[in-house]
């Protein structure tokens, strides 16, 4: 496999509003060792006053935000089963965590299929728990920076700037009405399809201005 030579997203990318970052991560490529995939789905969480964010109830999550720089990895286990990959956004008008929810596999498909035990490429990374299993992401990556090592980073891709849809966050019980889940329009690799695309289209600017956590 050739080396990724496209620009790695620097920490400055993650020093803006979380909603802007979450939207603009869609279409980039997440490189993880010898595997990679196009980001097709993200979810934004605010570190202040967002009941669905870990920082609302977990002192350890608030401490993580305090001691780490923008672009740091925040890992947690969901329901004792699946690891979740998040990236810290900090230094802009408000801080947050972005959950990476779905990838379109691009490199290392054979390895990912073996780890997942599935052959269907559409099922490899179509969900936050699936993609961490496919990429072998675990707690050992907690607090690692995604802005320093090109083997573990987001890189620019030709899909960057593609049409992105926004709809309410899923898989949560509180503050689920905010349309802070961002998906690549028309992608067959998202975890849950957007049911009404015509009504869900939002630009990053409109999302950031119109919607704010309680």
pLDDT tens-digit profile of 51-98? 888 999 999 999 999 999 999 999 999 877 899 999 999 999 999 999
Q: Is residue 44 over pLDDT 70?
A: yes
3-state secondary structure the chain: CCCCCCCECCHHHHCCCHHHHHHHHCCCEEEECCEEEEEEEEEEEECCCCCCCHHHCCHHHHHHHHHCCCCEEEEEEECCCEEEEEEEECCCCCCEEEEEEEEEEEECHHHHHHHHCCCCHHHCCCCHHHHHHHHCCCHHHCCCECCCCCCEEEECCCCCCCCEEEECCCCCCCCCCCCCEEEECCCCCCCCCCCCHHHHECCHHHHHHHCCCC
What is the pLDDT at residue 199?
A: 44
What is the pLDDT at residue 165?
A: 96
Task: List 30's β-bridge partners, or say none.
Answer: 37, 154
By the 8 A CB rule, do 154 and 39 touch?
yes
Give the pTM.
Answer: 0.88
What is the pLDDT at residue 174?
A: 82
Q: How far apart are CA 202 and CA 131, in angstroms?
A: 26
Class of domain 11-210: alpha beta
What is the pLDDT at residue 3?
A: 52
- Distance of alpha carbon 194 from its chain centroid, rounded? 17
Q: Is residue 169 over pLDDT 80?
A: yes
What is the pLDDT at residue 196?
A: 58
Q: How far apart are CA 169 and CA 179, in angstroms?
A: 6
Q: What is the mean pLDDT of the chain?
A: 88
Band of pLDDT at residue 159, cut at 50, 70 and 90 = low
How do residues 189-205 score in pLDDT, each as one tens digit? 999 988 754 444 443 33
CA diameter of the chain: 47
Least confident of 49-63, 65-79, 133-147, 161-175: 161-175
Phi first, then psi: give them for residue 32, nearest 5 degrees: -135, 95
Q: How far apart are CA 111 and CA 149, in angstroms?
A: 21
Q: Is residue 2 over pLDDT 70?
A: no
- Domain borders along the chain are 11-210
């Amino acid at each position: 496999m050739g080396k990724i030579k496209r620009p790695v997203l620097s920490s400055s990318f993650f020093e803006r509003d979380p909603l802007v970052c979450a939207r603009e991560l869609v279409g980039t490529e997440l490189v993880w060792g010898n595997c990679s995939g196009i980001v097709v789905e993200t979810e934004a969480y605010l570190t202040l006053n967002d009941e669905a964010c870990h920082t609302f109830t977990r002192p350890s999550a608030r401490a993580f935000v305090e001691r780490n720089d923008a672009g740091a990895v925040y890992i947690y286990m969901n329901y004792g089963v699946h690891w979740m990959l998040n990236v810290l956004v900090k230094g802009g008008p408000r801080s947050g965590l972005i959950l990476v929810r779905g990838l379109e596999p691009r490199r290392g498909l054979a390895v990912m299929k073996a780890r997942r035990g599935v052959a269907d490429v559409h099922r490899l990374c179509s969900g936050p728990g699936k993609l961490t299993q496919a990429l072998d992401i675990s707690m050992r990556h907690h607090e690692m920076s995604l802005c320093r090592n090109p083997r573990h980073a987001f890189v620019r891709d030709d899909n960057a700037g593609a049409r992105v849809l926004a709809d309410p966050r899923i898989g949560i019980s509180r503050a689920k009405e905010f349309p802070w889940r961002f998906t690549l329009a028309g992608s067959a690799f998202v975890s849950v399809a957007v049911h009404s695309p015509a009504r869900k289209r939002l630009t990053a600017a409109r999302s950031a201005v119109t919607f704010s956590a309680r």
